């Protein structure tokens, strides 16, 4: 009885579909760059491989090109993928780019309970990956990044604008500048008592940058900051809800709130509403990231727009340049301000209506 199982596609089929030789297919799929193959031909081969579902044997690729065809994406905790929309979008973007380059992506968490801190360094030591992208590095994890750097493994870190990161290849935006812009927007609406709920604990470098933007905006306008105006959430909307409850329980009045990201802002809205406070009439609110759900919040969320898909694309482009031993070019300008999307939650539209 003939088998109903279909044989997996071969490199010969890729070659026929792309109209090239099997040797060219081998060079392209093993990322051999010194054979004079044009980018158009390279893309043609990768497209043909994707279309027929061809996946070269990983072991053969390792032997042929000395590489594994795998890159690692290092995130703080795997559970963040369940609750952090920004991170989920970023992972999807990087994964899509990996497919485009014919690579596999491995996700590794750095701070999960029960795991040895910096465990991702083992992937480097064992040469199970060709390079890695690190998202939201922490201060304790800095020493492990130094080890990877010293080992000469291609690495891109989301850390543009962070202090003491000059030795690393960094990508992303300077979030302190855009955070400062968001707070200045609230100040421009007449607020001087502006609280801040950050999206995670201050051990994460990006968390400190958003807080720095808040503090600098307040200081430049001569507004004193009450220590009771700052609280730290833990990525999820539920943690934003609890952190905002904590702020309210301190009984130190504020008229505006800057949330470290949009997910936290969703939790903050609920906590404020349950306390009998209306957004924006009683407390103006601004978030960060402009996740897809932001415009559907009630009220619609004013927020800093982040090009998450573009960030993932840029990170992979930098990593690919390093893997090819080329000089990486950053297409994202760290100092560029992200656009502020003004909707209902900050009260700007309400104020304009009242003036009329």
Average of pLDDT values for 146-155?
85
Domain(s) labelled CATH 3.40.50.2300 in the chain stretch across 70-172+308-323, 175-307+339-355
Specify which residues 75 forms β-bridges with. 109
**Could you report the per-residue pLDDT of 263-303, keeping only the tens digit for each?**
999 999 999 999 999 999 999 999 999 999 999 999 999 99
HSE value, Cβ hemisphere, 13 Å, CA-based, for 106:
15
Lowest mean pLDDT, pick from 125-139, 171-185, 202-216: 125-139
- CATH code that applies to domain 11-65: 1.10.260.40
Q: How far apart are CA 271 and CA 247, in angstroms?
A: 10
The pLDDT value recorded for residue 63 is 38
Can you name the CATH fold of 175-307+339-355? Rossmann fold (3.40.50)
**Could you report the per-residue pLDDT of 163-173, keeping only the tens digit for each?**
667 778 888 88
What are the residues whose beta carbons fall under 8 Å from the beta carbon of 166, sequence distance 6 or more? Answer: none
E strand or H helix at 105, and its extent?
A: strand 104-109
> Of residues 166 and 19, which shows the higher confidence score?
19
The pLDDT value recorded for residue 5 is 42
> Of residues 59 and 43, which shows the higher confidence score?
43
- CATH code that applies to domain 70-172+308-323: 3.40.50.2300
β-bridge pairing 302-305 and 256-259:
unpaired
- Match 């898909």 to its residue by tokens: 309
**Could you report the per-residue pLDDT of 310-353, keeping only the tens digit for each?**
999 999 999 999 888 888 766 556 557 789 999 999 999 765 44
Domain(s) labelled CATH 1.10.260.40 in the chain stretch across 11-65
pLDDT above 90 for 34 = no
At 59, is the pLDDT very low, low, confident or very high (cuts 50, 70, 90)?
Answer: very low
The pLDDT value recorded for residue 116 is 60
Q: DSSP state, 107?
A: E
């Amino acid at each position: 009885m003939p088998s109903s199982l279909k044989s997996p596609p071969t490199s010969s089929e890729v070659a026929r579909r792309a109209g090239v030789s099997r040797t060219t297919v081998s060079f392209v799929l093993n990322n051999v760059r010194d054979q004079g193959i044009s980018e158009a031909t390279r893309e043609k081969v990768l497209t043909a491989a994707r279309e027929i579902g061809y996946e070269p044997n990983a072991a053969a690729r390792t032997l042929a090109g000395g590489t594994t065809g795998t890159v690692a994406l290092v995130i703080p905790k795997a559970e963040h993928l369940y609750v952090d929309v920004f991170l989920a979008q970023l992972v999807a973007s990087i994964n899509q780019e990996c497919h485009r380059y014919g690579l596999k992506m491995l996700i590794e968490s750095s701070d999960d309970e029960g795991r040895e801190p910096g465990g991702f360094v083992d992937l480097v030591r064992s040469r199970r990956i060709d390079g890695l992208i690190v998202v939201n590095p922490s201060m304790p994890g800095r020493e492990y990044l130094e080890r990877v750097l010293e080992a000469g493994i291609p690495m891109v870190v989301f850390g543009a604008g962070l202090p003491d990161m000059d030795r690393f290849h960094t990508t992303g935006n300077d979030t302190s500048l855009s955070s400062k812009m968001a707070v200045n927007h609230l100040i421009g609406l007449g607020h001087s008592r502006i609280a801040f709920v950050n999206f995670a604990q201050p051990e994460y470098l990006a968390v400190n940058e958003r807080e720095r933007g808040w503090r600098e905006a307040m200081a430049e306008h001569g507004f004193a900051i009450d220590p009771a105006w700052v609280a730290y959430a833990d990525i999820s909307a539920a943690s934003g809800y609890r952190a905002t409850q904590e702020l309210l329980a301190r009984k130190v009045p504020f008229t505006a709130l800057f949330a470290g990201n949009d997910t936290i802002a969703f939790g903050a809205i609920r906590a404020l509403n349950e306390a009998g406070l209306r957004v924006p009439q009683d407390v103006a609110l601004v978030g960060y990231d402009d996740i897809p759900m932001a415009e559907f919040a009630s009220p619609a969320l004013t927020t800093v727009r982040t090009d998450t898909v573009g960030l993932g694309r840029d990170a992979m482009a930098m990593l690919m340049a390093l893997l090819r031993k080329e000089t990486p070019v950053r297409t994202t300008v760290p100092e560029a301000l992200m656009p502020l999307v003004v909707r209902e939650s900050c009260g700007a539209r309400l104020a304009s209506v009242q003036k009329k």
